Structure 1
């Protein structure tokens, strides 16, 4: 089993002093100062995808006695989040990394990530970054660099679950549950694979999505010793509005069956709206919260999607997202240990059209002598 990874949030201190400038990155018209810093491989990677949705910009360090640049970094981030990501740092790499950390600090962000395309471990460590454990996703389904690094800029401590990216477009609910249980110690890391992903999805699905009650019941069936509570502030069937009437009818029937299964197996369904305060409190109790949200803010399309809430820092909840949008340069480094401001997460998790909130809270597994909590 890979070691449990722990990352310590720290303030942006000991940053290498450097005067920096920040300019938008236009792949078709890069600044002339980049020419001597960026090699062909890096230049091709920067141009290979359309990063415009992630606000690409350059953080550059000018030379002390001229008009050129001594260092630069291509920086991006998902919208509505509290981090920046270095795609590559070129030239004087320590100066570039320090400039990005200082830039993120001025923006009062929680974190800086660094993709490992060209980053050397010793340079990342010297800049205060910790290595991320590589994804457990099967290689044929993963995208992004083989390594990545993180530096926290806010006080606090969070433990990192393993990262596993969903291998289909519809298994996000199953993956978040599996990752939560691996993080809690109820599932061996080596058991987190595609077989487990598809097996749990098959038990939880409402075809093709996993709705909250069905997912909660499937988690209870798979791990009877784990306390499970479903939070769903509507009693009508959910995630069905985009289907034709005849397809909504039989899926609604399956959701009613999930409600019956929940009653029979002792899975409570809380009809109140789960607040961000309650999510933070649950994480403080070492619970994991599988949260349904819309990808409209972070990815630009209004599709319901499950993420795992597992940590908190001041002003933001730390999530793991099992999906990354490779067409925008989004990789597992973005999706893993992702801080989302409370207000953004509150908005994302109000699911249209009626604004309901759905979640599954999984408590720490009970010992053999502990009585059930429900």
Structure 2
């Protein structure tokens, strides 16, 4: 096993052993079997799993430990479980995150409870829409977050996990609309997801102009601007030429529709500073990214930019990769540094950027 390196709060940080037999004896004595089963139920190696451990007074035996992971190129740590003297383990994780200059620490609610989390400075995350605490839903039934500098002011939107591999654009638009107060949460369901996707799709993906047009048609009171610094069709390079041709016709039709209903298409490359400015105006930005950085495969994907903290932008990702231990706790209120998000949203070898900026609609009448 690689040598542990010192971290703050008299703790040590060691890589998570991929084989159970390689776990340190001190950790084995702290971890219950059901927790250990969860830790090894998936291959977490893509999310740099580590154990933050707190040695006892003798400097040898561990009195507390936590398994932590995080998506690559992001600005948070996630506690999967804390064992032993839980407050000491959590404090050590928070100290390590501060030392790394991260924006937040999250805590999955497998073994944590709300009272314990609150006592350690964590706030509860909203349970995902459509889940309702179902025991067979992926991920933990609860989660908690602790911001490490300025993030407490970030308004929390609802979280909704896309139910197909291709409805990310529609879901991010619906999250934005709900967060802005223009859609009641009870109306955000799979029917709404698929309806908006059907109006926006380029079969099966949603390209920026078509998505912007569908958003404006669904909610005419919203101010919608599409940013796309590439002429011609996009998101088609992976298809054979015969498949590209008819989708290109649909994309040209979407551009014509944008002109007819008054959706401007800005051909400038949208900088991250402009995304921050939009968030400061309480606007929402649907941003097209590649999942190569966060998930390891170069697939285009829509996320919602809705918050900003020092050093990072806060996004909602409607998809989580359960096979790597990634859950809605990772994907919700996810801080990504401006530089990392800039790289993620530079699409294909052409380096273009696609985004849909949505101004706040009129809020719902409380009556």
- Common topology (TM > 0.5): yes
Q: 1:141 deviation in Å?
A: 8.7
Q: Could you tell me which residue of structure 2 aligns to residue 62 of structure 1? A: 55
| Equivalent residue runs for 1:131-170 within 5 Å | 131-138=124-131, 142-156=137-151, 157-170=153-166
Aligned with 1:35: secondary structure? helix
1:98 pairs with 2:91: yes
1:22 pairs with 2:13: yes
1:35 pairs with 2:28: yes
1:110 pairs with 2:73: no
Q: 1:18 deviation in Å?
A: 3.8
Give me the whole-angstrom Cα distance separating, in 2, the residues matched to 1:137 and 1:96: 33
* Cα deviation code 1:247-300 (max 9, x no counterpart): 000000000000000000000000001100000000000000000000000000
Q: 1:36 deviation in Å?
A: 1.4
Q: Could you tell me which residue of structure 2 aligns to residue 304 of structure 1? A: 300
Give me the whole-angstrom Cα distance separating, in 1, the residues matched to 2:32 and 2:188: 38
Q: TM (normalized to structure 2)?
A: 0.94
Q: Could you tell me which residue of structure 2 aligns to residue 317 of structure 1? A: 313
CA RMSD of aligned residues (A): 1.4
* Cα deviation code 1:331-352 (max 9, x no counterpart): 0000000000000000000000
Q: Could you tell me which residue of structure 2 aligns to residue 89 of structure 1? A: 82
Q: Report if aligned partners of 1:232, 1:272 keep a CA contact under 8 Å in 2.
A: yes
Q: Could you tell me which residue of structure 2 aligns to residue 246 of structure 1? A: 242
Q: TM (normalized to structure 1)?
A: 0.92
Structure 2, unpaired ranges of 5+: 1-7
Match for residue 53 of structure 1 among 34, 46, 60: 46
Q: Could you tell me which residue of structure 2 aligns to residue 5 of structure 1? A: none
Q: Report if aligned partners of 1:227, 1:366 keep a CA contact under 8 Å in 2.
A: no
Runs of 4+ in 1 over 2 A off after TM superposition: 137-142
Q: 1:64 deviation in Å?
A: 1.1
Q: Could you tell me which residue of structure 1 aligns to residue 349 of structure 2? A: 353
Q: Report if aligned partners of 1:142, 1:165 keep a CA contact under 8 Å in 2.
A: no
Q: 1:65 deviation in Å?
A: 2.6
Give me the whole-angstrom Cα distance separating, in 2, the residues matched to 1:366 and 1:194: 24
Q: 1:299 to 1:230 in 2, by over 3 A?
A: same
Q: Could you tell me which residue of structure 2 aligns to residue 268 of structure 1? A: 264
Q: 1:27 deviation in Å?
A: 3.2
Q: Could you tell me which residue of structure 2 aligns to residue 9 of structure 1? A: none
Q: 1:67 deviation in Å?
A: 1.4
Q: 1:137 deviation in Å?
A: 3.3
Matched length: 352
Deviates more, 1:147-156 or 1:311-320: 147-156
Give me the whole-angstrom Cα distance separating, in 2, the residues matched to 1:337 and 1:115: 13
Q: Could you tell me which residue of structure 1 aligns to residue 198 of structure 2? A: 202
Structure 1, unpaired ranges of 5+: 1-16, 369-374
Q: Could you tell me which residue of structure 1 aligns to residue 5 of structure 2? A: none
Q: 1:327 deviation in Å?
A: 0.2
Q: Could you tell me which residue of structure 1 aligns to residue 116 of structure 2? A: 123
Q: Report if aligned partners of 2:180, 2:363 keep a CA contact under 8 Å in 1.
A: no
